[in-house]
C-alpha cells in the first residue's frame, strides 16, 4: 500500500427479530444442544418481512459516519459487499446512496460472499490511491434469512441478518492497511451456492419447486477448507511482513462456526483471548461478521491505537483472504 489508509470508524445493525435456538426447535428437527455443540451459535437476529439489505445497512452506516465526524456528503464511494442485495440490479450501493443522501459519491456492489468485507477493505484502500478520494464506506450486509430454506435444518440454524460498516480514510504512515492477501478457488463453487436466480438457471416455477432459490451447502467440505483457507491466508501476511503470531494483538475472523474459528486459531497458534468471537449471539451474518465483530471488540476496549490486527475470512466461491492492519493513526481531516 503506497497510501496509508485505515479504518476511522465502525458501525453495526442487526435484524429486529431475535431467533433463539429454542425458537428453531419449533420449526425444524433440531435441538439447542446440537446447534451449540456443533456451531457455537445460541441465537441470531432475522429481519421482519420486507426489510432489504439497504434498510439494514443504513443505520450501521449512519452510526459509523457519526463516529468519524462525517456526513453522507463527505463520502467519495460506497462499496456494498453482499450476496443478498435488495435486487439483482440496480446495485444496493445506489439504494443506500439515495437513502442517506450522499450527494458526492459513486459506488458499487461487490460479490465475494463471506469474504466480501475484507475484499471491500482492500478494494476501497486501493481506490484511495487517487488523492481525490478521501473517504470510502465499506458496507458488509446480508439478509440471509431471505435465502435460507427454513425447512432445512442443516443450513437454517447457521445464519443471521446483519450489517457492519467501516469508514476508510487516510492515516499516518505505519498505520492502517499494511498488507492484504486474497485468493479465489472456483473448484469449491458448488459446495456453497444458491443455484437458481442467475443467468445459468433463471428463476422458474420448476426452480422454486426444487427449492433452488435457497442456500445449498456441502457443510463438511466447506468446514475443512475454511480452516485451511483462513490459516493459510493469515500465515501469508505474517510471513510476508516478518511477523509471528505473537505480534498480532487481535484476529477478527469470519464467524461461520466456532469450531472453524478454533481450528484456524489452533493452526496459527494464536490463543483465543486474542481472537474476536461473536457468533454465539449473531450466527453467520455472511458479509457482516467481520465488521460487527470488530465493532464489538472496539466497544469492549479490545482494540487500542497501535494494535496489530488481522481480519480473515473464508466463504462461498471459494473466496478467502486476510488483511493485516495497524489500528489508529487517524489524521482527523488533516489529509
Ligand atoms: C453444517 C455443519 C454445522 C454440520 O456439522 P457437522 O458436525 O459437520 O454435522 P454433519 O453434517 O456431519 O451432520 C451430522 C448429523 O447431524 C444432523 N444435523 C444437521 N443439522 C442438524 C441440526 N440443525 N440439528 C440436528 N441435527 C442436525 C445431520 O443430518 C447428520 O445426521 P445423520 O448423521 O443422521 O445424517 C458443519 O459442517 C459446518 O459448520 N460447516 C461449515 C458451514 C459454514 O460455515 N458455512 C458457511 C461458510 S462461510
Q: Decide if 76 contacts 132 (C-beta within 8 A).
A: yes
Which residue minimizes the CA distance to atom 21 of ligand 1?
A: 154
Ligand 1 atom with the shortest distance to the CA of 226: 47
Q: What pLDDT score does 25 carry?
A: 98
pLDDT band at 148 (very low <50, low <70, confident <90, very high): very high
State the span(s) of the chain assigned CATH 3.40.47.10. 5-176, 178-326
Phi, psi of 44 (to 5 degrees): -150, 165
Task: List all residues 6 or more positions away from 123 whose beta carbon is below 8 Å from its beta carbon.
Answer: 79, 110
- Kindly state if the Cβ of 256 falls inside 6 Å of ligand 1: yes
Q: What pLDDT score does 331 carry?
A: 82
DSSP state of 330: B
- Kindly state if the Cβ of 219 falls inside 6 Å of ligand 1: yes
Task: List all residues 6 or more positions away from 229 whose beta carbon is below 8 Å from its beta carbon.
Answer: 183, 314, 318, 320
Inform me whether the pLDDT recorded for 334 exceeds 60: no
Inform me whether the pLDDT recorded for 315 exceeds 70: yes
Which residue minimizes the CA distance to atom 24 of ligand 1?
A: 30
Nearest Cα residue to 324 out of 266, 262, 251: 251
Inform me whether the pLDDT recorded for 1 exceeds 70: no
d(CA 61, CA 30): 35
Kindly give the residue spans of alpha helices, DSSP state H, lying in the chain. 21-25, 32-39, 53-68, 92-100, 116-127, 153-156, 205-209, 219-240, 258-268, 279-282, 289-299
pLDDT band at 3 (very low <50, low <70, confident <90, very high): confident
- Kindly state if the Cβ of 157 falls inside 6 Å of ligand 1: yes
Nearest Cα residue to 4 out of 333, 334, 322, 330: 330
Q: How far is CA 212 from the centre of its chain?
A: 24
Exposure string over 32-57, b if 16+ CB within 10 A, otherwise e = beebeeebbbbbbbbbeeebbbbbbb
- Kindly state if the Cβ of 38 falls inside 6 Å of ligand 1: yes
Mutate which of 38, 225, 315, 321 for ligand 1 pocket (most atoms within 8 A of beta carbon): 38
Regarding the domain with residue range 178-326, which homologous superfamily does it belong to in the CATH classification? Thiolase/Chalcone synthase (3.40.47.10)
Inform me whether the pLDDT recorded for 335 exceeds 60: no
Angle formed by the axes of helices 289-299 and 116-127, nearest 10°: 80
* C-alpha R_g of the chain: 19
DSSP state of 269: T
From edge to edge, which strands make up the β-sheet containing 77-81? 5-14, 161-170, 136-143, 77-81, 106-110
Which residue minimizes the CA distance to atom 45 of ligand 1?
A: 256
The pLDDT tens digits for 10-59 are 999 999 999 999 999 999 999 999 999 999 999 999 999 999 999 999 99
| pTM score above 0.75 | yes
For ligand 1, the distance from its centroid to the CA atom of residue 154, given in whole angstroms, is 5
- Kindly state if the Cβ of 319 falls inside 6 Å of ligand 1: no
For ligand 1, the distance from its centroid to the CA atom of residue 35, given in whole angstroms, is 9
For ligand 1, the distance from its centroid to the CA atom of residue 155, given in whole angstroms, is 8
The pLDDT tens digits for 203-242 are 999 999 999 999 999 999 999 999 999 999 999 999 999 9
- Give domain 5-176's CATH architecture: 3-Layer(aba) Sandwich (3.40)
Inform me whether the pLDDT recorded for 166 exceeds 60: yes
- Kindly state if the Cβ of 253 falls inside 6 Å of ligand 1: no
Ligand 1 atom with the shortest distance to the CA of 316: 48
- Kindly state if the Cβ of 284 falls inside 6 Å of ligand 1: yes
Q: How far is CA 95 from the centre of its chain?
A: 19
d(CA 114, CA 130): 27
Residues 272-299, mean pLDDT to the nearest whole number: 98
pLDDT band at 333 (very low <50, low <70, confident <90, very high): low
> Which residues have a catalytic role annotated?
114, 254, 284
DSSP state of 319: E
d(CA 124, CA 238): 22
Amino acid at each position: 500500500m503506497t497510501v496509508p489508509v485505515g479504518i476511522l470508524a465502525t458501525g453495526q445493525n442487526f435484524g429486529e427479530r431475535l431467533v433463539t435456538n429454542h425458537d428453531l426447535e419449533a420449526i425444524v428437527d433440531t435441538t439447542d444442544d446440537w446447534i451449540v455443540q456443533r456451531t457455537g451459535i445460541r441465537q441470531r437476529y432475522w429481519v421482519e418481512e420486507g426489510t432489504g439489505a439497504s434498510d439494514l445497512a443504513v443505520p450501521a452506516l449512519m452510526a459509523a459516519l457519526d463516529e468519524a465526524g462525517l456526513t453522507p456528503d463527505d463520502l467519495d464511494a460506497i462499496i456494498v459487499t453482499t450476496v443478498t442485495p435488495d435486487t439483482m440490479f440496480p446495485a444496493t450501493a445506489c439504494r443506500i446512496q439515495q437513502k442517506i443522501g450522499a450527494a458526492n459519491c459513486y459506488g458499487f456492489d461487490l460479490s465475494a460472499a463471506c469474504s466480501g468485507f475484507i475484499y471491500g477493505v482492500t478494494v476501497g484502500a486501493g481506490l484511495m490511491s487517487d488523492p481525490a478520494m478521501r473517504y470510502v464506506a465499506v458496507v458488509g450486509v446480508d439478509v440471509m434469512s431471505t435465502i435460507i430454506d427454513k425447512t432445512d435444518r442443516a443450513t437454517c440454524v447457521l445464519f443471521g441478518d446483519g450489517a457492519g460498516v467501516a469508514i476508510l480514510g487516510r492515516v499516518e504512515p505505519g498505520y492502517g492497511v499494511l498488507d492484504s492477501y486474497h485468493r479465489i478457488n472456483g473448484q469449491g463453487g458448488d459446495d456453497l451456492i444458491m443455484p437458481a436466480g442467475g443467468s445459468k438457471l433463471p428463476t422458474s416455477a420448476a426452480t422454486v419447486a426444487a427449492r433452488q432459490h435457497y442456500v445449498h451447502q456441502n457443510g463438511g467440505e466447506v468446514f475443512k477448507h475454511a480452516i485451511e483457507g483462513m490459516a493459510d491466508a493469515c500465515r501469508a501476511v505474517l510471513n510476508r511482513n516478518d511477523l509471528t503470531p505473537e505480534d498480532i494483538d487481535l484476529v477478527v475472523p469470519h464467524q461461520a462456526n466456532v469450531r472453524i474459528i478454533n481450528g484456524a486459531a489452533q493452526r496459527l497458534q494464536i490463543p483465543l483471548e486474542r481472537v474476536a468471537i461473536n457468533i454465539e449471539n449473531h450466527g453467520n451474518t455472511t458479509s457482516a461478521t467481520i465488521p460487527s465483530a470488530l465493532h464489538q471488540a472496539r466497544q469492549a476496549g479490545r482494540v487500542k491505537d497501535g494494535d496489530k490486527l488481522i481480519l480473515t475470512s473464508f466463504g462461498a466461491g471459494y473466496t478467502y483472504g486476510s488483511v493485516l492492519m495497524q489500528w489508529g493513526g487517524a489524521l482527523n481531516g488533516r489529509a
